[in-house]
Amino acid sequence: MSKPFISILSPQGFRALLRSSSSHSRVVPIDATWYMPNSPHNGKGQYLNEDRIKDAAFFDLDEVALPESKYPHMLPPYEVFKKNIEALKLQKTDKLVFYDKTGIFSSPRAAWTFSLYGHGRVYLLNHYPDYKKHDYPLDTNPKDNLATSAELGDAHHYELISQEQFSDNYQDQVIDYEELLALVQSEKLEKHYVTFDARSTDRFTGKSPEPRPGLSSGHIPGALSLPFNKVLKEDGSYKSKEELIQLFKDDFNIDVTDPTLGGKEAVIVMCGTGVTAVILKLALQSVIGTGFPIRVYDGSWTEWAQRAPSAYIAKSG
């Protein structure tokens, strides 16, 4: 099975893709807007009552997750994912184009989740503010549901990949707490992996608190600070491949054009709850490709700070 890949589309590229849409191979936008818990904004409310791309469905990162977990946004179980996707009236043949109102913030996580569960044609809009700036068509009528309004084709059931295929995807693209802790304890993390943390530098060093009350800030020993906005332009869209290559060279002395990344086993990306980590994953993937493992620590800092021994909660600066 080929490795999942997410294509990044400009607004113009998205409009061109729309022209290929048919009832048997629809192009369906997915609004995946999500905000930090300390924000007054609500992505679902905005979707229902404000502007959205025509025929867009809404993917709720808070809802489509591991039930009753104290770590937000953990990947949903097989059946939870399928149930929610069918409620959105999505089909396996759809070309899904993800976006969020911020620009590039929560949509990469949603797009990656679909690719992990085997959806074949997944795209990321780069980005919604730029789409609006071009005065492309928007739907501003209030809605009372989260499903797409695109006309359904013949298939009405969303067929997931096999559990075995999903397990292969998971092993290749995700790292869990137990495996990461073992790498830290054996001192293999810094030697054989590159770990990037997408949180702000002050949260990484421990200078600023976490947005979730009572959660210690700091970082995993051996991790590198790479705030997600450093891979984005001032307008919030992704930097070009050339800019990304230069960024990793200047800031970390890492040649991301090297297919082995200097002999490392994998890159690990993390953040607060596994959302903005995927911004880094897709930035790296756009340069490195799918041949080198870039694994997401799903529980990210929220899990690590609550489970790891205090000796493995580093602070600096």
Instruction: Let me know if residue 279 belongs to a domain.
Output: yes
pLDDT in tens, 13-30: 999 999 999 888 899 999
CA distances from 227 to 202, 230, 270 (A): 10, 6, 10
The model carries a pTM of 0.95
What number is the average pLDDT over the span 55-77? Answer: 93
Instruction: Let me know if residue 1 belongs to a domain.
Output: no
Taking residue 143's Cβ as centre, other Cβ atoms within 10 Å add up to: 14
Instruction: Let me know if residue 317 belongs to a domain.
Output: no
d(CA 115, CA 285): 13
Residues 279/285/286/291 CA torsion (nearest 10 deg): -170
Does 161 share its domain with 26? yes
Instruction: Let me know if residue 193 belongs to a domain.
Output: yes
Does 69 share its domain with 195? no
DSSP string, 202-261: HHHHTSS--SSTT----B-TT-EE--GGGGB-TTSSBPPHHHHHHHHHHHH---TTSTTT
Examine the pLDDT at 1 and tell me if it is beyond 60: no
Banded pLDDT at 212 (limits 50, 70, 90): confident
pLDDT for the residue numbered 317 = 55
What number is the average pLDDT over the span 215-234? Answer: 98
Query: 66 and 298 in contact (C-beta within 8 Å)?
Result: no
Does 157 share its domain with 49? yes
Examine the pLDDT at 312 and tell me if it is beyond 60: yes
Residue 295 belongs to domain with CATH number: 3.40.250.10
> What is the extent of the structural domain holding 142?
6-165
Does 115 share its domain with 197? no
Does 134 share its domain with 192? no
pLDDT in tens, 44-61: 999 999 999 999 999 999
Annotated catalytic residue within 88, 146, 220, 271: 271
Angle 240-27-21 (CA atoms, 0-180°, nearest 5)? 115
pLDDT for the residue numbered 78 = 84
d(CA 196, CA 180): 13
pLDDT in tens, 234-285: 999 999 999 999 999 999 999 999 999 999 999 999 999 999 999 999 999 9
d(CA 208, CA 199): 11
What is the chain's alpha carbon radius of gyration, rounded to the nearest angstrom?
Answer: 19
User: Is position 271 annotated as part of the catalytic site?
Assistant: yes
DSSP string, 151-183: PP-S--S-PPPPHHHHHHHHHHHEE-HHHHHHH
Does 27 share its domain with 159? yes
What number is the average pLDDT over the span 205-227? Answer: 95
The neighbouring-strand residues paired with 267 are 194, 294
d(CA 47, CA 248): 36
Does 23 share its domain with 161? yes
Instruction: Let me know if residue 274 belongs to a domain.
Output: yes
